[in-house]
Chain A
Amino acid sequence: MRQPAKQGLYDPRNERDACGMGFVAHVKGERSNAIIARGLEILANLDHRGGVGADPTLGDGAGCLIQIPDALFRAWAEAKRLNLPPAGDYAVAMCFLPRDAASRAAAVERLERFIRVAGQLVVGWREVPVAADLLGSAAEAAMPAIAQAVVARGPNVPDQDAFERKLLAIRKQTLNPLEAEAKRRDLPGLPDFYIASFSSRTLVYKGMLLAHQVGAFYKDLADPLTASALAMVHQRFSTNTFPSWRLAHPYRFIAHNGEINTLRGNVNWMNARRRTLESPLLGPDLDKMWPIIPHGQSDTACLDNALELLIAGGYSLPHAMMLLIPEAWSDTRMEPKRRAFYEYHAALMEPWDGPAAIAFTDGRQIGATLDRNGLRPARFLVTDDDLVVMASEAGVLPIAEERIVRKWRLQPGRMLLIDLEQGRIVEDEEVKAALAGAEPYGQWLAATQFDLKDLPPGCNPIRRPPDDDVFRRTRISFGYTDEDLKFFLAPMAAAADDPIGSMGTDTPLAVMSDRPRLLYDYFKQNFAQVTNPPIDPIREALVMSLVSMIGPRPNLLGRQAGTHKRLEVSQPILTNEDLEKIRSIQETLDGAFRTITLDATWPKGGDAQSLEAALQRLCWEATEAVLADINLLILSDRAEGPARIPIPAALATGAVHHHLIRQGLRMQTGLVLETGEAREVHHFCVLAGYGAEAINPWLAFDTIDDLCARGSLAVPPAEAQANYIKAVGKGFLKVMSKMGISTFQSYCGAQIFDTIGLGRCLVDKYFTGTATTIEGIGLAELAEETARRHRAAHAPDAAPLDPGGLYALRAGGEDHAWSFDSIANLQHAARGNLPDKYRAFAEELNARGRRLLTVRGLLDFRPAGPAVPLEEVEPAAGIVRRFATGAMSFGSISREVHATLARAMNRIGGKSNTGEGGEEPERFAGDARSAIKQIASGRFGVTAEYLVNADDLQIKIAQGAKPGEGGQLPGHKVDAEIAAVRHSTPGVGLISPPPHHDIYSIEDLAQLIHDLRSVNPSARVSVKLVSEVGVGTVAAGVAKCTADHVTIAGYEGGTGASPLTSLTHAGLPWEIGLAETQQTLVLNGLRERIVVQVDGGLRTGRDVAVAAMLGADEFGFATAPLIAAGCIMMRKCHLNTCPVGIATQDPRLRARFTGTPEHVINYFFFVAHEVREILASLGLRSLEELIGRADLLEEADASGHWKARGVALSRLLHMPETNGLRRHGASLCRAWGTAVDRQLIEALDGPLPARIEGSVGNKDRALGAMVSGEIARRFGHAGLAEGSLHATLTGTAGQSFGAFAARGLILELIGDANDYVGKGLSGGRLIVRQPGEVPREAAENILVGNTCLYGAIEGEAYFAGIAGERFAVRNSGAVAVVEGTGDHGCEYMTGGLVVVLGPVGRNFAAGMSGGIAYVWDADARLGGQCNLASVALEPVEDAEGLRALIERHRALTGSERAASILADWPAALARFVQVMPTDYRRALATLEAAE
């Protein structure tokens, strides 16, 4: 089976995957079949990391990579009487051949031909014995014919490495043009031909298999003749259910857990290297290998292609990995040689960035590396008999504890390498020191690297605007508005921050606006959700970098190095002075660089043809320049004037960038932009995303100077410009980190955008590879928009700047859905229960033709049949049950409003949502209970009690107004009540991290769902996503994680506070995301098992009807009910000054709130009545009948609108074929909880205290969560008396051990544990220690995994060993003792106490605003490891308390470290450092003073 073709909004390229992976290797290279058997056992023990699709017998793919089993092939050759050369002199091609005979014959013939042409010899073909009867029908239907071609080394290749290179060339030549070949020869099956591996060293067995099937399916693997010293295995979790045989891992070199966020850019840049890539090793073969990275592959396949190229080009395996996935090297504490190594290589290739744990092997070495931020788990152990086992989880192989000499984890940016030929483990330090010392990288850099700031000033004068009139006209021509000054330039220049706004966006899409809009408005930023995490660019700044390399790149495979000159800037925004430096660089730098300025304007009066001609001219000039050896192109629109129109800067950039890529010239030149157009953060992002390496926004600088001159800015011009640049930099970091990208170099050219309203032709030509969902304008309209601005600017009576009106409504500005009238009518309707007023309200918003605002505005209804009488339609009371209010936290809105919404929804049987701030326990039972309890990244107030008091548990992955970003509740909003609910300290600000620190990947989400369901098995688990291209695929993944409910939020959604950049430019309208979700779920056969809810800008009954037709079962509203309750869209939520008492905690203002539940109820009933009228007119009797009926929608006629007439919505209305339902039917039935939990629950009914004993394995996940839920249900948060339930367990616990453990529960684990130990700890006590008799120091080995005690509320934890990354992240009250932590320890902590009796990793206490940490800083390294932005390092104040705690730790765990510390307490005490948040100290002092 192949993936379904691209259809409707479904596009196979959006597929995401993640997984579990691991390897086992014998360090000394001893080969055996047992190693393979163990590898397969790892696989079987990771199977919970896979997904459950519509067909449970169908796996997402699994596989195993081993060394070539020479004995097996020798036996085969003997049996076949073939002459097999010695091991190492023959290779095996593992082939998936087409099933139809003609294609298969063609495939075989093709491969053999290229082998022969390359001078190698085909020994023969071996049928691979398989047990096809094991497979489910779907997997079998898709199964290829599997055969191995055995190829002998020809006389023309001198050695095995050269043989490998030749094999690569053969494989590339055979496979690359298959699609074309298939068409030419009319063999549609031919593209199915795939070579899983082709090497003289390694062999891959993989397929669309369940984890446990791999060994049984491939009979070879069980054959005693099959021996290997290593086995690398992988279990895939795909977000959808069309896994294919080839997409299984491992690939030829790697198995990967995670995702490459920058993939598109990496692939583009690789293609751009075509003309610069040369390799003495590959010679002419290199030319035969293009495309190096073919289209339509998974991210891992692409990375594998890049890796094999580097290796073929002569890099060693670890060297290549360091080049592809470098550590964060901007850290100045890094050893200088290593830093120089990375800095040198940064110019060769941009990082492949994203959460990634990658296992790699070439058959001689095997290893693994982790991304710079440590976002995937990887644990390994070493035994006394030379076995190394590495896997995503600990405990995947049953190995006697006493044989294990070392337990460790892969650390961020670090590498584990085992050299089987040398027979030893090469430590990270050693590998890197050797590579860093191999060449004089530091000297090379010193000789070739130029920093822009060190260059002499340019020769040309800095231009200033000639006079007020010209200056004004120029600004109008570039589309400047009053708002650009007021909302962006002035605040950015004054405060150096990307400005904040609130309440979402309700303006028309650019393509529907009557006004000319900038091209940037057609681009929506992508963001990470579920399949990869966003990053916190502030608290985790150490992994971020804005460094940009301007200019040509050296040959990736060239080893001449050292001579290639490079120009570096610390960030990509250039001042006018900077740009002049670059313009003059030829003179100032002895011709190392040669610059040309190309004119990016076109003649006045221009239409589409002349714009196109201008672009063509620009591209040709660029080519000419590069061919003339000019290596810095400056695209400039300085020529703007009465006779010249500026080409939209993004268009000019995209055109030149892609043109040069297509010509293979892009790597030979730098691309710099000199533009008057760019001013907002988003503008710079688009320009960089399409290839600009640096940008000079000259008009923005002129404007800032002008503001200073007019006295509108209180800072001097130079400082204002510096502030502005800083603000743009911060914005850049935020936008990059939203997608999980850490470096500007990888962001540049990565095209992390969807377009909306741009025509396909335009995008394909100038923004190649960008997704379009809604077709729209072409060059003609784009030209017209630009020309309109230009005409207005140079008209005789040119007015002052346009008011804008995008961010706050202005008369004469952009249109808004929430207008004076719609707000007034809705409020009058809700307050007076006035149907006529509601009708006027709905009419205004629903009316099309007059105003185009939304995608749904371009859709018309098509009745299903004759109208039915209204009284036959489902009553409104039934419809309102499908309504929910949006997630607004108590904290962002006032208590009165929060309760009003809850009361209203409870009365009508709908649901209200707590938002992310928890809920006051007294509301759990009453009429103000929120049925939906949200679990967001901050985990504020998420206790076991909170979870059991929910009908729905909603995991908020992202919110419409600022997807991919965290939030911050400023200290002044945290009053005593809010602090109590959030288990924090009044007056101390609270940070919600951008990602859930327990969801970096899809299988992590499955785990969180599992955790929540364990606590509360009766609640529906919901996942909230934001609309973007690919959200449907993520939603399918969510369904496969067994969620009951998914919410698709539109980008319009309101918010308390969000950077304006995100508010308007991130995410897509819900119509698009919902339709894609519906189509993908239906296509996958997953639709009926999950409820789909939509929110983000629903206002009227018509909106509800459209949403139902596009596939929504339920409907969320936030802004509209708030308005019914009195909100007037002040957009001041972030200032705490809401004058109607809604988004404020100021008691003076809260008193002004006049809303009542009745107002909200009136509104919802009006909406429901409108829905009924629509149903009746369509001939339907219930809302259910409408769900998924996209066929009842048709595109409206927009031919009258100068831009919207190009919009095509047919893809939105596509309905994939299905035999199943197009709406929710029944959810999956599942069983939860571990055996231990069931035992403990039983014990609850018996006499207490009770003790049980048992053993655990890594498949026992969320142990303790279910019993804790039960305790919370019966006894509330107060739980049981201390020690009422005590379980003593042995073994390796699965993830989320002790999650949400309630008070009275003690979980004592003898062994070790995986990630998320004590997540959400709710009063219980956790004790983990290694068994008594083992050959390793407890304090030097890893004991518990990453992200332990995340969001812990209270309780105790004692870990006699080292914890992984992000220990106690967002802890609000737990007391914990641990003997060492990884990076980011105590991040975002707001309360509680953490004692670390050992070293901590980097970035300790980042964003910590409460609680205290004590670190035993034996080697005085804490100062360097700690993030001091919010904490102070002090001597211990409460020494006695500390000592008591350490004593308790010793008593409970038998810790030797504790014992030795206590043995000489005064000396040890002197080594302890108290880490105290400064805000926390201040708040405590305030509280004390108040008492």
Chain B
Amino acid sequence: MTNPTGFLDIDRQDRAYRPVAERLKHWREFTEPLPDSELRLQAERCMDCGVPFCHTGCPVENLIPDWNDLVTAGQWRAALDSLHRTNNFPEFTGRVCPAPCEAACTLNLDDAPVTIKTIECAIVDRGWREGWIAPQMAPRGTGRRIAIVGSGPAGLACAQQLARMGHAPTVFEKADRIGGLLRYGIPDFKLDRMLIDRRIAQMEAEGVIFRANMEVGVTVPVERLMDDYCVLVLAAGAEQPRDLELPGRALGGVHFAMDYLVQQNRRNAGLPHSGAPILATGKNVVVIGGGDTGSDCIGTANRQGAASVTQLEILPRPPLAEDKGTSWPRWPLRLRTSSSQEEGAVRIFSVATLRFEGQDGRVTALVCEQDGQSLAFEADLVLLALGFTGPERDGVVGKAGAELPPTGYETVRPGIFACGDARRGQSLVVWAIREGRECASAVDAYLRGA
């Protein structure tokens, strides 16, 4: 560590956002990267803790102090190597991760945490810019073929790891393009699609075969895959949305958040979408659910030109600041405002929806309850962002007859593995990457007979 008192001498600086008015006009990313000189200073704030609590926060166990140290020393390429060692796709996590590492950062205890996520993102962006990120070919192949179902972050991480071990993975994706939730779930303004394409290209060069428009269990029978491949990895996500089965649910204008988001993402990509368009333009939008998907809906609705956006959260308003003495380094419960919420949304807490009211088969209002009081919201578009209950009903997991394992990645059916949201339930991209990596190791061990 070059500067043991960096944390005392330097204040935290993080990436800024473009002004709201400006960023609402487009669908592009709107964060402003920090200059290298500032990044090096920020990295210098890292104390290189004896017990780096950032690790507890980071599911992929990024070697954060190590690459902070390298950035401080200006050794960006070495930092990139260190980062890639634990994380296949830092450009994704550097953008969409909620950064539990920063919550766990020792400096978060009585100061402001190191801007870990920003540094991570800068390292990998620079790596791409400099052309340091090239395909990593396995020295020799094993000839073992592996089918991976699902091309989200878990499937991709698993595939990349397996390819680099010399195996031959094929990734099956039911959608028309590769990327899963990254591709069609996360709004473009949070994750530029070019980033995904670039990784896919690297992976193809490393020998990963991608098969889009192939829905395993529907267009391709599971048993056929089992004949053709040594191992089947289920990484199909947890796409079954939680529903709100209340009176008026069938009214027009009440949609699952993901249906809404996917449409807009396809629209941005110039692709056709199925079903009638769901648009917020000029509408009073109510988003039910206070999580990240809810925020994505808000950002999308505002960009579409919604008349108003209201977000309902069933839980009480969390405190503005946590008691760090009894929470740090754990992920604290406190009021957070996402960039999308910042762009304009009314947030209402402790509110439970009672029914949807409508006219002409279309929703017009929501009747809710707060502290025993009944209240109503005007609503032309209601988006349900209540989370996901697990893998899709009747999806590939059920069809494969592979009951999910409580621990480990191998299912009860020999040769079938599961990872990512499909295994652990809805979670963060960074967890998906970790699961994909670990699952790859488990598959490799299985193949080696260990």
Residues of A whose CB lies within 8 Å of any CB of B are: 482, 486, 502-503, 710-712, 796-797, 799-800, 803, 808-812, 816, 818-821, 823-824, 827-828, 831-832, 834, 1128-1132, 1135, 1137, 1139-1140, 1146, 1148-1149, 1152, 1154
Contact = CB atoms under 8 A, between A and B. Distances in A.
A1139 B166 contact: no
Interface in B1-52: 4-5, 7-8, 47-52
Contacts of B326: 827-828, 831-832, 834
Given A503-B50, A811-B55, A811-B58, 20 more contacts: A482-B66, A710-B75, A797-B139, A799-B85, A800-B81, A808-B48, A811-B86, A824-B56, A824-B328, A832-B325, A1128-B51, A1128-B106, A1128-B109, A1130-B49, A1130-B106, A1131-B49, A1137-B7, A1137-B47, A1139-B107, A1154-B110
11 contacts: A482-B66, A486-B66, A797-B139, A797-B165, A820-B51, A824-B328, A828-B325, A1131-B51, A1137-B4, A1140-B109, A1140-B110
Contacts of A710: 75, 78
Interface string B163-190: 0111000000000000000000000000
Contact of B63 (A811, A819, A1154): A811
Contact of B51 (A486, A799, A816, A1146): A816
Q: Is the interface of B mostly helix, strand, loop or mixed?
A: loop
Interface in B403-434: none
Closest 7 CB pairs of A and B: A1131-B50, A811-B61, A820-B56, A1129-B51, A831-B325, A811-B55, A1135-B4
Contacts of B138: 796-797
Contact of B52 (A809, A824, A1132): A809
B75 A819 contact: no
B52 A810 contact: yes
A279 to B, nearest CB: 59
A811 B104 CA distance: 14
Nearest to A829: B326
A808 B85 contact: no
Contacts of B52: 808-810
B203 to A, nearest CB: 15
B204 interface: no
Contacts, number: 112
B102 to A, nearest CB: 15
Contacts of A1152: 110
A713 to B, nearest CB: 11
Interface string B281-294: 00000000000000
A1000 B330 CA distance: 51
Nearest to A1155: B325
Contact of B8 (A711, A1128, A1149): A1149
B197 interface: no
B89 interface: no
B196 interface: no
A529 to B, nearest CB: 28
Interface in B298-353: 325-330
B263 to A, nearest CB: 39
Contact of B164 (A797, A800, A1128): A797
B450 to A, nearest CB: 11
A821 B56 contact: yes
Contacts of B85: 799-800
Contacts of B111: 1139
B50 A1129 contact: yes
Contacts of B110: 1139-1140, 1152, 1154
B195 to A, nearest CB: 24
B47 A712 contact: no
A820 B329 contact: yes
B140 interface: yes
B214 interface: no
Contacts of A808: 48-52, 65
Nearest to B52: A809
A641 to B, nearest CB: 16
Contacts of A482: 63, 66
A503 B50 CA distance: 9
B66 A809 contact: no
A832 B329 CA distance: 15
A519 to B, nearest CB: 25
B50 A1130 contact: yes
A880 B330 CA distance: 31
A489 to B, nearest CB: 15
Contacts of A502: 50
A502 B56 CA distance: 22
Contacts of A711: 75
B165 A1139 contact: no
Contacts of A809: 50-52, 55
Given A796-B138, A803-B63, A821-B56, A1130 B8 contact: no
Nearest to A1138: B47
Nearest to A808: B50
A712 B325 contact: no
A1154 B325 contact: yes
Nearest to B60: A811
B63 A810 contact: yes
A827 B328 CA distance: 9
Contacts of B329: 820, 824
Nearest to B328: A824
A400 B111 CA distance: 76
A873 B412 CA distance: 49
Nearest to B3: A1137
B73 interface: yes
A1139 B139 contact: no
B51 A819 contact: yes
B140 A820 contact: no
B325 A796 contact: no
B53 interface: yes
A408 B86 CA distance: 71
B447 to A, nearest CB: 13
B441 to A, nearest CB: 11
Name the residue among A799, A812, A820 with the largest chain B CB count within 10 angstroms: A820
Nearest to A711: B75
Nearest to B50: A1131
Interface in B131-154: 138-140
Contacts of B330: 824
Contacts of A824: 53, 56, 328-330
Contact of B106 (A799, A821, A1139, A1154): A1139
A820 B55 contact: yes
Contact of B47 (A811, A832, A1130): A1130
Nearest to B111: A1139
A319 B138 CA distance: 70
Nearest to B84: A800
Given A832-B326, A1139-B7, A796 B51 contact: no
A818 B52 CA distance: 11
Contacts of B8: 1137, 1146, 1148-1149
A823 B106 CA distance: 12
A796 B63 contact: no
Contact of A1128 (B49, B139, B325): B49
A1042 B56 CA distance: 50
Contacts of B63: 482, 803, 810-811
Contacts of A811: 55, 58, 61, 63, 86
A365 to B, nearest CB: 60
Contacts of B7: 1137, 1139
Given A796-B138, A803-B63, A1139-B106, A827 B49 contact: no
Contacts of A816: 51
Contacts of B4: 1132, 1135, 1137
A503 B49 CA distance: 12
Interface in B104-129: 104, 106-107, 109-111
Nearest to A501: B50
Contacts of A819: 51
Interface in B69-106: 69, 73, 75, 78, 81, 85-86, 104, 106
A809 B111 CA distance: 22
